[in-house]
């Protein structure tokens, strides 16, 4: 970390952050992944599409569910992301787990390279908020799902929750201005109750369900690491972070550390995360 900026911004910053923090970030999101996979109700033999897979979750966990050892019919998971570099990390993780039913595909959610009615289940964890054209992407999902197949999403709840209040809100309190670029990517796009359901219904999904749950969101380390990680992976907040004057960073880090430390329990930072879970059937 430099004195002037909490993370070096470049076209590969997601890859750098993913590699540096892969172990601790996996722990951070583990509880959400487990709940989301259970919510998706994968069954042996299913063909699953996982959108915005990044470095592999929940796709890898889903692959273990749909293709268990000894299954008569081996299910599969197609992991899709716009970043081939992140997908290659996912593929390596799958190989390390001896998973033969996990494949990667670089693609845009708005133009899926799959035939109509190809999948029994589609999942997307923390990705739906960033679709540039939600209806187009949902229409593509509807197209590639078999009739009656489910699509399941996990999205961030409101920004008024510990992880965001002790990181990005601290920065915003010092620098002011827009926290997120107007019209740009918004992690909290579907935080309002019912908003994701409305988008699913508008895209002809039926039996739509939605709930908001508070789930464990635990960092196995210190407060400084949490803040550095948050800044490194929070791409939508990059314009705000880049306009912080160099001389402001020490005060921001000190304030963030003090705020984050309030959630320390032993060797862990235990925030809790408000997560929207929504699903519908094609």
| 138-174 confidence digits (pLDDT tens) | 999 999 999 999 999 999 999 999 999 999 999 999 9
Give me the half-sphere count of Cα atoms (radius 13 Å) on the Cβ side of residue 8.
8
Predicted confidence band of residue 13 (pLDDT cuts 50, 70, 90): low
Cβ atoms < 10 Å from Cβ of 189: 19
d(CA 221, CA 8): 22
pLDDT digits (tens, 9 = 90+) for 35-74: 999 999 999 999 999 999 988 999 999 999 998 665 666 8
d(CA 245, CA 229): 20
Predicted confidence band of residue 26 (pLDDT cuts 50, 70, 90): confident
d(CA 42, CA 229): 31
What domains does the chain contain, in order, with CATH numbers?
13-281 (3.40.50.150)
Residue 73, judged by CB atoms within 10 A of its CB (0-12, 13-18, 19+), counts as exposed
Q: How much is the pLDDT for 70?
A: 56
d(CA 275, CA 36): 10
pLDDT digits (tens, 9 = 90+) for 78-114: 999 998 988 998 999 999 999 999 999 999 999 999 9
Residue holding tokens 């550095």? 228
d(CA 252, CA 175): 9
Residue holding tokens 């908001």? 212
Window from 3-12, 195-204, 211-220 with minimum mean pLDDT:
3-12
Predicted confidence band of residue 279 (pLDDT cuts 50, 70, 90): very high
Instruction: Say whether pLDDT at 5 is over 90.
Output: no
pLDDT digits (tens, 9 = 90+) for 228-277: 999 988 889 999 999 999 999 999 999 999 999 999 999 999 999 999 99
d(CA 264, CA 178): 30
Q: How much is the pLDDT for 235?
A: 86
Write out the two tokens for 8: 């070096």
| Sign of the alpha-carbon torsion through 231, 234, 240, 243 | positive
d(CA 44, CA 24): 30
């Amino acid at each position: 970390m430099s004195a002037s900026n909490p993370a070096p911004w470049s076209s590969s910053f997601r890859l750098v952050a993913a590699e540096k923090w892969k172990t601790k970030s996996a722990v951070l999101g583990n509880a959400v992944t487990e709940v989301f996979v259970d919510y998706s109700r994968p069954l042996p033999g299913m063909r699953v599409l996982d959108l915005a897979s990044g470095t592999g979750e929940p796709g890898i966990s889903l692959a273990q569910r749909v293709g268990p050892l000894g299954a008569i019919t081996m299910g599969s998971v197609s992991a899709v992301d716009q970043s081939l570099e992140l997908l290659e990390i996912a593929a390596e993780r799958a190989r390390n787990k001896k998973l033969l039913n996990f494949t990667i595909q670089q693609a845009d959610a708005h133009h899926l390279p799959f035939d109509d009615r190809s999948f029994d289940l589609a999942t997307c964890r923390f990705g739906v908020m960033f679709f540039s054209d939600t209806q187009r992407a949902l229409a593509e999902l509807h197209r590639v799902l078999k009739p009656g197949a489910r699509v399941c999403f996990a999205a961030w709840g409101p920004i008024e929750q510990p992880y965001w209040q002790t990181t990005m809100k601290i920065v915003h309190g010092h620098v002011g201005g827009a926290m997120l670029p107007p019209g740009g990517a918004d992690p909290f796009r579907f935080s309002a109750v019912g908003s994701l359901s409305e988008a699913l219904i508008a895209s002809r999904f039926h039996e739509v369900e939605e709930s908001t749950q508070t789930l464990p969101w635990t960092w196995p380390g210190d407060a400084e690491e949490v803040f550095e990680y948050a800044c490194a992976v929070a791409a939508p907040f990059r314009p705000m972070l880049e306009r912080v004057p160099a001389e402001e960073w020490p005060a921001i880090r000190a304030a963030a550390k003090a705020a984050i430390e309030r959630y320390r329990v032993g060797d862990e930072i235990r925030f809790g995360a408000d997560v929207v879970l929504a699903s519908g059937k094609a």
